A and B are shown apart, each in its own frame.
Chain A
Amino acid sequence: GQQVMQIPQYQHVQEGEDFTTYCNSSTTLSNIQWYKQRPGGHPVFLIQLVKSGEVKKQKRLTFQFGEAKKNSSLHITATQTTDVGTYFCAGQAYSGAGSYQLTFGKGTKLSVIP
């Protein structure tokens, strides 16, 4: 079955430093989504990338989708304490019978030291 690997599992950064998390799929994806989960909270949708090589920005967050549509990254510039949480990628692929399956990576837990 489809597998989505995400690294690193944990990342501790000093406030103001940059942060990057990487996501790799075992299969070609139709799209990739990113979610953020604050401690004790629930996953919240951030963005979806669909096109090969696509790059999207949301303020200090930059999302990339690989040319082969099998990998993606999320980069945060100049982290702030409000960035604390776990960032999940989720790869969507056709699973047959007219439906799609969304598989989540294990997430990268970001800690920001003030």
Chain B
Amino acid sequence: DAGVIQSPRHEVTEMGQEVTLRCKPISGHNSLFWYRQTMMRGLELLIYFNNNVPIDDSGMPEDRFSAKMPNASFSTLKIQPSEPRDSAVYFCASGPRDRGTGELFFGEGSRLTVL
């Protein structure tokens, strides 16, 4: 199995630009999670989907962030407009079980730098 695939691995952009991060979960997994990792705040859950439906988006910082999962094999996290404080590593993770239970398999992350 290829594991969770994220792209891009690195993104450097200027403040105000739109950023789109992409994730392909492990085939057959029912849950998909977006996390943000920074030194100060650690790993923060942004949003999670169960069977392609957003279940908990309480961690999404503000309206500038949006996430979609149009089908079982693809999800996007969009930031528009981006700000320097959005600089972080964004991880996508998928899980084989429903309702957010069970272990998570993380992708390698997308390192975002907003200048």
Binding site for B on A (CB under 8 A): 30, 33, 35, 41-45, 48, 88, 92, 95, 97-107
Contacts and interface: CB of A to CB of B under 8 A. Distances in A.
A98 B101 CA distance: 10
A5 B6 CA distance: 29
Given A42-B108, A45-B103, A48-B103, A101 B91 contact: no
Nearest to B105: A45
Contacts of A107: 42-43
B11 interface: no
Contact of A99 (B35, B93, B99): B99
18 contacts: A33-B103, A42-B106, A42-B108, A42-B109, A43-B91, A44-B106, A45-B103, A48-B102, A92-B100, A95-B100, A97-B55, A99-B99, A100-B99, A101-B56, A101-B100, A102-B45, A104-B35, A107-B43
B50 interface: yes
Summarize A's interface: helix, strand, loop or mixed: strand
B104 A45 contact: yes
B43 A99 contact: no
Given A42-B91, A104-B42, A105-B42, A99 B55 contact: yes
Contacts of A103: 45
Summarize B's interface: helix, strand, loop or mixed: strand
Top 9 A-B residue pairs of the complex, sorted by shortest distance between their CB atoms: A104-B43, A106-B42, A100-B100, A42-B106, A45-B103, A99-B99, A99-B100, A43-B106, A100-B101
A42 B23 CA distance: 14
Contacts of A88: 43
Interface string B14-58: 000000000000000000010100000011010000100001100
Contacts of B105: 45
Nearest to B39: A106
B107 A42 contact: yes
